[in-house]
Amino acid sequence: MITIYRAKRILTMNPSQPEATHVAVREGRILGAGTRDALAGWGEHRLDDRFADKLLMPGLVEGHSHLFEGSVWAYVYVGYHERMDPDGRLWPGATSIEAVVARLREAEAALTDPAQPVVGWGLDPIYFGADRVSRADLDQVSAKRPVGVMHASFHILNVNSAALERGGLLRRGVEHPGVPLGADGLPSGELKGPDAMMPVAPHVGFDRELLAADERGLRLFARLAVRKGVTTATDLASLLPQNAVDMMLGVTAEPAYPLRIVSLLRLMSQTPQALVERAIALRALSTDRLRLGAIKLVADGSIQGFSARLRWPGYYNGAPNGLWYTPPEAMRAVYARALKEGILVHTHTNGDEATALVLECIDEALQAQPVRDHRFTLQHCQLADGAQFRRMKALGLCVNLFPNHHYYWGDEHYAMTVGPERAERMNACATALATGVPLAIHSDAPVTPLGPLFTAWCAVNRRTASGRVLGELERIGVQDALRTITLGAAYTLRLDHEIGSIECGKRADFAVLEDDPLEAGAEGLKDVRVWGTVQDGRIFEAAAL
């Protein structure tokens, strides 16, 4: 049965027919876009007018997110900025320490099990001026229960006295760079970096189980995706143990599961050979809605956590250089094997030194084994300069940049981490496009909220939370941004032949919008309202979830 949807406007991302008014769908795929008359020739059809006052775009593609964005809503959101949860509830920002404490107290009052910790997430105290959250603040939430609040960056955890005590840290004489002490010589309750969090995190519920894909999180993630117009999203680094894969296969196969997930296998402890073999085995398990078989490598850490590897002259505030997370030998071995087996590899390179090393390693692997169209992608790649983009182009690499960082941490990058010039160069979307490097942009949800239209707004405006425009000349146009959050991201996942544009033969994946993003323009992009999605021809209205 053919359905022809009439829409107010369809932005197809197909350069040979950028706009249309109707799209014909059969068996979950697109027969064509155009006028009703042009599509009627496909045969008997039903005209569906439900989108007559809506705008259709290709289903949005989030090229770097984590299913954890669904899981983390099990905890109390205490971020500074308002944020929508999977049920569509808009949580207002907690804009002072008092507001954070009040929201946690409310959650505490609702707990019945006396042993249960109170757990919050999304804290961003850079907006609180010189005030830091202390254990005394969180002791006001509970003197007995452990209380923990994860920062928005996921690099710092604030805890109360009870949590410190259970973790064995409520004592004098603690010497660790990640454990600042208060005037009384006891830890202040701020735990910086995964090492410092280690003894306490399990007592406040931030442990390994939470980071593994959980079924509830997988469902919540998809609900959030529908609300943001997303029909395909990545789960960019998972260890993918077989039980998680089985669970994901089951959930995504349910008739009403609205999202296509692309889950990448992360290198962690195993040998490059075992990793690639596992990726090949996973590839064979792929379904339409769960795409497996690609690999994620992590070269370095994060810029705001000072664990990214920077080239000379290093961090603006003089912090020592960051850490390598994977030895170059292991990365080289993975690239060589993956090229041979046709496995896609995405590599996290935050700092420019990490980018430089990975460019060398991939160059070497390609010299030994020239492969066309490998689509190896550098993820984040926030500090790459012009020369590095030119080399990416020469090596056939794609890049997935992180413009949301400008909004959330741009002011910090300017003042502290990398200084003015590099802060303005960061996430150089315009340079990538000008150089011809295939570009995607991302949220890294839950580090920043899932929402490609917001990410597009960030790339188009490059405005920080304080209102500074950071790198005027690296702003990109609205059209380019919209293409980047559809076809651009699809290309980096080797899915551009299936999704990313509305044209004959592709999946019937649409973002259904109440407002026209081209009319909304640069300023209004982030406020474009999403009605819901069509995914593989199935209709999902956000308000009806």
Partner 1 sequence: MPVPKLTQGAPLPVTVIGGYLGAGKTTLVNHLLRHAAGRRIAVLVNDFGALPIDADLIEAADGDVLSLAGGCVCCSFGSDLMGALLKLAQRAPRPDQLLVETSGVALPGAVAASLSLLTDVLLEAVVVLADAETVRARAADRYLADTIERQLHAADLVVLNKLDLVAPQAQAALRAWLATQAPRAVVIDAVHAQLPVELLLGVERAAARGRVAARRPLDALRPRPAVAAETLFERIETRIERPLDVRRLGEALADPALGVIRAKGILRDAAGAPVALQLVGLRATIQPLESMRPAGGRLLCIGLRGRLDGSAIRAALERAEIGGTAPGTS
Query: Which residues of the chain form contacts with partner 1 (CB under 8 A)?
Result: 115, 166, 168-169, 171, 174-179, 194-196, 198-199, 201-203, 207-208, 239, 267-272, 309, 320-321, 323-330, 353, 356-357
CB of 176 to partner 1, least distance (A): 5
Q: Tell me the one-letter amino acid at 148.
A: G
CB of 108 to partner 1, least distance (A): 18
CB of 391 to partner 1, least distance (A): 16
Q: Which is nearer to partner 1, 268 or 504 (CB)?
A: 268
Q: Which is nearer to partner 1, 84 or 323 (CB)?
A: 323
Q: Which is nearer to partner 1, 239 or 395 (CB)?
A: 239
**What's the CA gap between 351 and 519, in Å, rounded?**
36
Q: Tell me the one-letter amino acid at 349.
A: T
**What's the CA gap between 133 and 97, in Å, rounded?**
7
The first and second tokens of residue 35, run together, are 């006028």
Q: Which is nearer to partner 1, 206 or 457 (CB)?
A: 206
Please give the order of strands across the beta sheet that includes 76-77.
76-77, 118-123, 147-151, 156-159, 190-192
| Residue 83 exposed, middle or buried by CB count within 10 Å (0-12, 13-18, 19+) | buried
Q: CA separation (Å) from 314 to 188, 309, 360, 422?
A: 29, 8, 20, 11
Q: Tell me the one-letter amino acid at 450.
A: L
Q: Which is nearer to partner 1, 35 or 271 (CB)?
A: 271
CB of 343 to partner 1, least distance (A): 17
Q: CA separation (Å) from 379 to 99, 294, 437, 505, 537?
A: 35, 14, 13, 29, 30
Question: Which 3 state secondary structure label does DSSP give 299?
Answer: coil
Task: Note if the bond before 446 is cis, omega within 30 degrees.
Answer: yes
CB of 467 to partner 1, least distance (A): 37
CB of 20 to partner 1, least distance (A): 47
CB of 199 to partner 1, least distance (A): 5
Q: Which is nearer to partner 1, 4 or 164 (CB)?
A: 164
Q: Which is nearer to partner 1, 269 or 367 (CB)?
A: 269
Q: Which is nearer to partner 1, 193 or 258 (CB)?
A: 193
**What's the CA gap between 412 and 126, in Å, rounded?**
8
CB of 213 to partner 1, least distance (A): 15
**What's the CA gap between 292 and 403, in Å, rounded?**
26
CB of 171 to partner 1, least distance (A): 8
CB of 37 to partner 1, least distance (A): 58
Q: Which is nearer to partner 1, 351 or 449 (CB)?
A: 351
> Which residues have CB under 8 Å from 134's CB, separation 6+?
158, 182, 188, 189, 190
In degrees, to the nearest 5, what angle opens at C-alpha 371 toward C-alphas 367 and 372?
Answer: 125
Which of 382, 191, 369 is closest to 300 using CA atoms? 382
Q: Which is nearer to partner 1, 50 or 171 (CB)?
A: 171
Residue with tokens 């697109």: 30
**What's the CA gap between 266 and 350, in Å, rounded?**
16
Does the CA dihedral 196-200-204-209 come out positive or negative? positive
